[in-house]
């Protein structure tokens, strides 16, 4: 080598030396073939802590942990570098102060031009910060994995680009029924209904999520066992740091319970609305019934007094009888209206069921029309039923209307009755009952409809063609009468409603009061009576009926006038007062009378059952009433001679 070449080699060597010494982020140093340190750069000094004088001439194994030295790792590293031309690894290394750091190590063999091994070049980098970051990331990922796995109320899982399931959490297994082994690698369309798959909904869901950044929907999904549930679904695209789509995140929640609760809430709101509407109708009915009660009281009283004075024309007597009968039917109608408005209790009495049904024949025939025939079957020895006559009429009419609506093309309704002894059940005590059955040959009901048939306001009829109160009112009548009810139905065959009403403790029905009974006058010795009613028409009628019974009557139109009359007038024997009056009710007037005139008899006239049921010291007569009923009531409260 000439002097010029030696100069160039020297210059190149100096430049490389300067380069290595300028590097502080890497430890770069030389080892001889035996691993003895032959050089040391500032980077090695910076993160290993040794000065050049401390380490040059010592074995490089001093940087290894005790465990690695015992395992022979330093010698192995040199053998691998010599044999394979390179050794590369990551592991723990030790600083001068004994602290450890995570290092990336590369060892390359250095050979002479002839190929002889003359040493090793060793490069070490401190990766402690990177390793800590990786460990922190790994811990975070593990925590996130545990978090997702711990969620059981939501199905949270990943899909690949084709929609195949690539992860599965415990919530997904609980909600959908698949284990991870069952579903991983399968397409998520397995959760959709056949109808949704045929319509391409799974594919559209991924397309929308990709295009719009989110897909959200509520709909039916299918579990592993084939059962369906209502689900709230969200699909979000998952993208890499560069923005490339790498898959989808899918979150599903079972909202079946919420949807069912919402349905029940809507149903309850509808029932409340109907209840409020019916309450308003009931209040209106009560007001109308009260006014009609007053009119009927005046009409019935006047008619009975006229019947005591036979007219010259014989036909007039028959006309009067018809008028009385019509007024009595009006009384029954008013009682039904008051019962509907919950202003009057049932008037439970013995009822002859065959007679009641036959008396309704014309009404029933007109109600159901000529296309439907009615068949009756009543044994001659059928006992009396204990119930309210007018309400039983309404119940039978409701059942016939339901039967008619179930047979639009015509058919047959069979009304049967028989005596039956029933054992004790949760529906009622053991005892003797009259069983009334109304069966039709109509469309029938399926199990779901039958289960709700007696619910208030439940109806399968079109809007405006039914209130849904028919069967519930029938059930209410039977329950209040102490009986039972059963509805049986088969689609395409018909419906059968059976009512069991208690047997009355009489052999025959009580005979209705005849003309003689209704017009029997007299109620003992004549009394001085104070009559009170804010309706002048009713006051006049009541006073006339009392006078017809032989009493002397003073009439006033308010409670305040009655109190003035008691203070200033004659010594009255009896006060007969209406209950519903402005400013002071008849019950309040009774309390004042008892305070002013202890022992003075008071009789309340009312068309409502609105007095306290426990108020047993209130003598009361329901309006409208006959002369005979008034006479009996007066006799019950009048002072004894």
User: Which residues does 201 contact at the CB level (< 8 Å), separation at least 6?
Assistant: 192, 219
Q: How far apart are the C-alpha atoms of 540 and 557, rounded to whole Å?
A: 10
SS3 per residue for 271-285? HHHHHHHHHHHHHHH
Can you read off the two tokens belonging to residue 332?
């029954």
Average the pLDDT over each of 76-80, 304-308, 529-533 and give the range with the smallest value.
Answer: 304-308
DSSP-based three-state secondary structure for 579: coil
Strand 87-94 and strand 100-111: the pairing is: antiparallel
Strand 411-422 and strand 431-440: the pairing is: antiparallel
pLDDT given for residue 135 in this prediction:
73
Average the pLDDT over each of 42-46, 146-150, 507-511 and give the range with the smallest value.
Answer: 507-511
Stretch 317-327: mean pLDDT, rounded? 69
With beta carbons less than 8 A apart as the criterion, state whether 131 and 106 touch: no
Q: How far apart are the C-alpha atoms of 305 and 303, rounded to whole Å?
A: 5
Query: Phi and psi for 160 in degrees, rounded to 5?
Result: -80, -175
How long, in residues, is the chain?
A: 641
**Is the pLDDT reported for residue 415 higher than 50?**
yes
pLDDT given for residue 37 in this prediction:
93
Stretch 115-129: mean pLDDT, rounded? 89
DSSP letter at 72?
T
Which neighbouring-strand residues pair with 148? none
Q: Which residue has the higher pLDDT, 408 or 290?
A: 408
Domains of the chain, each with CATH number or no CATH: 3-128 (3.30.450.20), 151-254 (3.30.450.20), 260-330 (no CATH), 353-502 (3.30.565.10), 515-637 (3.40.50.2300)
**Which helix H or strand E contains 232, and what residues bound it?**
strand 228-239
Can you read off the two tokens belonging to residue 533?
């009613």
CB count, 10 Å around CB of 36? 15
Stretch 466-471: mean pLDDT, rounded? 48
Determine if the peptide bond prior to 174 is cis (ω within 30°): no
**Is the pLDDT reported for residue 318 higher than 90?**
no
Q: Which residue has the tokens 């709230």?
A: 232
User: Which residues does 377 contact at the CB level (< 8 Å), separation at least 6?
Assistant: 414, 415, 416, 417
Largest alpha-carbon pair distance within the chain? 171
Question: Angle at Cα 128 formed by Cα 123 and Cα 130, nearest 5°?
Answer: 100
pLDDT single digits (tens) 187-238? 999 999 999 999 999 999 999 999 999 999 999 999 999 999 999 999 999 9
pLDDT given for residue 507 in this prediction:
47
Q: How far apart are the C-alpha atoms of 621 and 611, rounded to whole Å?
A: 12
With beta carbons less than 8 A apart as the criterion, state whether 605 and 587 touch: no
Q: Which residue has the tokens 């192995």?
A: 76
**Is the pLDDT reported for residue 164 higher than 90?**
yes
Stretch 43-61: mean pLDDT, rounded? 89
**Is the pLDDT reported for residue 340 higher than 70?**
no
| DSSP string for 177-197 | ---HHHHTTSBGGGGS-HHHH
User: Which residues does 413 contact at the CB level (< 8 Å), separation at least 6?
Assistant: 368, 372, 373, 374, 375, 400, 403, 404, 438, 439, 440
pLDDT given for residue 278 in this prediction:
55
């Amino acid at each position: 080598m000439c002097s010029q070449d030696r100069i160039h080699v020297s210059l190149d060597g100096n430049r490389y030396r300067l380069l290595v010494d300028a590097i502080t982020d890497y430890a770069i140093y030389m080892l001889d073939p035996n691993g003895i340190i032959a050089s040391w750069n500032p980077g090695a000094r910076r993160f290993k802590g040794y000065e050049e004088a401390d380490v040059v001439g010592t074995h490089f194994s001093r940087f290894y942990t005790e465990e690695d030295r015992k395992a022979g790792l330093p010698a192995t590293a040199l053998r691998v570098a010599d044999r394979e031309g390179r050794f590369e690894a990551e592991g723990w290394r030790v600083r001068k102060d004994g602290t450890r750091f995570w290092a990336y190590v590369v060892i390359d063999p250095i050979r002479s031009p002839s190929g002889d091994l003359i040493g090793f070049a060793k490069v070490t980098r401190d990766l402690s910060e990177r390793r800590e970051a990786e460990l922190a990331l790994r811990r975070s990922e593990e925590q996130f994995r545990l978090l997702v796995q711990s969620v059981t109320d939501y199905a949270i899982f990943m899909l690949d680009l084709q929609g195949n399931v690539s992860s599965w959490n415990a919530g997904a297994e609980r909600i959908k029924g698949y284990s991870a082994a069952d579903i991983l690698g399968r397409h998520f369309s397995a959760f959709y209904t056949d109808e949704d798959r045929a319509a391409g909904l799974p594919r559209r869901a991924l397309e929308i999520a990709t295009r719009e950044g989110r897909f959200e929907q509520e709909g039916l999904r299918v579990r592993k066992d084939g059962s369906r549930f209502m689900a709230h679904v969200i699909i979000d695209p998952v993208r890499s740091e560069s923005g490339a789509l790498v898959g989808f995140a899918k979150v599903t929640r079972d909202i079946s319970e919420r949807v069912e609760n919402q349905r029940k809430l809507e149903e309850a709101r509808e029932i409340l609305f109907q209840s409020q509407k019916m309450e308003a109708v009931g209040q209106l009915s009560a007001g109308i019934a009260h006014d009609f009660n007053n009119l009927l009281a005046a009409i019935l009283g006047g008619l009975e007094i006229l019947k005591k004075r036979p007219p010259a024309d014989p036909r007039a007597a028959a006309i009067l009888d018809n008028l009385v009968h019509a007024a009595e039917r009006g009384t029954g109608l008013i009682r039904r209206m008051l019962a509907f408005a919950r202003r009057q209790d049932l008037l439970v009495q013995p009822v002859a069921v065959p007679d009641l049904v036959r008396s309704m024949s014309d009404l029933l025939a007109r109600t159901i029309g000529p296309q439907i025939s009615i068949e009756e079957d009543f044994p001659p020895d059928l006992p009396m039923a204990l119930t309210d006559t007018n309400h039983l009429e309404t119940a039978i009419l409701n059942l016939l209307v339901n039967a008619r609506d179930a047979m639009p093309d015509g058919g047959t309704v069979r009304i049967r009755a028989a005596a039956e002894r029933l054992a004790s059940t949760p529906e009622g005590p053991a005892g003797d009952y009259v069983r009334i059955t109304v069966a039709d040959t109509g469309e029938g009901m399926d199990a779901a409809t039958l289960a709700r048939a007696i619910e208030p306001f439940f109806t399968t009829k079109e809007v405006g063609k039914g209130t849904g109160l028919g069967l519930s009112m029938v059930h209410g009548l039977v329950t209040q009468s102490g009986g039972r009810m059963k509805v049986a139905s088969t689609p395409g065959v018909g419906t059968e409603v059976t009512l069991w009403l208690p047997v009355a403790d009489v052999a025959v029905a009580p005979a209705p009061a005849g003309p003689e009974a209704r017009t029997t006058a007299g109620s003992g010795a004549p009394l001085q009576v104070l009559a009170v009613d804010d309706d002048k028409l009713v006051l006049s009628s009541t006073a006339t009926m009392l006078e017809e019974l032989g009493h002397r009557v003073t009439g006033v139109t308010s409670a305040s006038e009655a109190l003035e009359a008691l203070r200033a007038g004659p010594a009255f024997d009896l006060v007969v007062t209406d209950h519903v009056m402005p400013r002071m009710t008849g019950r309040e007037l009774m309390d004042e009378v008892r305070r002013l005139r202890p022992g003075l008899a008071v009789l309340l006239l009312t068309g409502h059952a609105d007095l306290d049921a426990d108020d047993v010291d209130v003598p009361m007569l329901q309006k409208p009433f006959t002369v005979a009923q008034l006479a009996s009531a007066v006799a019950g409260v009048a002072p004894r001679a």
